[in-house]
């Protein structure tokens, strides 16, 4: 067994560019998941049974099937059905965003349910309409409770993002594989890629605890 990182040298810029590519689509996916997940969570707690049914069905489907299958369906099935040749980036953010929304909606729903009922009553008694009540009073308290669970979801998404290499999206993982194929050495590029994923997650965790600390200012 011999490790030789020296041959990796010329490929390092190619690999590092993958960081930005991965981050870009992870960031957009998190954003989609967060917005859609919040809307779904609100659907789950309304009295409108159709909305609740829809949100529950959505969650059931996207949590109940493999992410890689969802990605494949979006990337391969959409062109087959519509003739629209979907770009890998769009397919990636759709699959990850839609999938993450299912998980995020459950996290946020739990967070909202955990906020004291008296908060809604106090807001209602003051004549505060639904939307500002949710945005300014209920959700900020919910977010504080669920931040660790949300961070967990973001970390999972960041790591699982490597799955997009299967549709040829040139993310960090895909680049490591390409370099491995060219060098006939897989261990070194995969090891470096693994290190980079780990550092990204560590930074994300750090950011999470900073936000958490700031939200605790009122305790």
* Residues in contact with another protein by the rule CB under 8 A: 116, 118-119, 121-122, 124-129, 132, 136-137, 140-141, 144, 215, 217-219
Q: How far apart are CA 96 and CA 92, in angstroms?
A: 6
Q: Minimum distance between the CB of residue 192 and another protein, rounded to whole angstroms?
A: 43
Question: 189: buried, middle or exposed (CB in 10 Å: 19+, 13-18, 0-12)?
Answer: buried
Nearer to another protein by Cβ, of 9 and 48: the residue is: 48
Output phi, psi for 208, to 5 deg.
-60, -45
Q: Minimum distance between the CB of residue 138 and another protein, rounded to whole angstroms?
A: 10
Nearer to another protein by Cβ, of 145 and 158: the residue is: 145
Q: Minimum distance between the CB of residue 216 and another protein, rounded to whole angstroms?
A: 10
Q: Minimum distance between the CB of residue 219 and another protein, rounded to whole angstroms?
A: 6
Q: How far apart are CA 34 and CA 51, in angstroms?
A: 18
Nearer to another protein by Cβ, of 144 and 185: the residue is: 144
Q: How far apart are CA 88 and CA 94, in angstroms?
A: 10
């Amino acid at each position: 067994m011999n490790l030789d990182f020296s041959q990796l040298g010329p490929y390092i810029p190619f690999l590092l560019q993958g960081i930005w590519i991965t981050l870009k689509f992870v960031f957009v996916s998190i954003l989609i998941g967060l917005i859609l997940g919040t809307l779904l969570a609100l659907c789950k707690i309304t009295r409108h049974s159709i909305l609740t049914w829809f949100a529950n069905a959505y969650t059931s489907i996207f949590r109940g099937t493999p992410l890689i299958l969802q990605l494949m369906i979006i990337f391969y099935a959409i062109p087959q059905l519509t003739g629209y040749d979907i770009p890998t980036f769009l397919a990636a953010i759709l699959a990850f965003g839609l999938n993450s929304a299912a998980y995020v909606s459950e996290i946020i729903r739990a967070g909202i349910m955990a906020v004291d009922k008296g908060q809604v009553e106090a807001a209602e008694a003051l004549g505060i309409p639904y939307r500002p009540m949710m945005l300014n009073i209920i959700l900020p308290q919910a977010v504080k409770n669920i931040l660790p669970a949300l961070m967990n979801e973001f970390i999972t998404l960041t790591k699982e993002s490597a799955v997009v290499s299967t549709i040829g999206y040139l993310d960090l993982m895909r680049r490591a594989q390409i370099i491995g194929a060219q060098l006939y050495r897989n261990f070194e590029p995969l090891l470096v890629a693994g290190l980079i994923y780990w550092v990204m997650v560590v930074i994300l965790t750090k950011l999470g605890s900073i936000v958490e600390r700031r939200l605790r200012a009122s305790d």
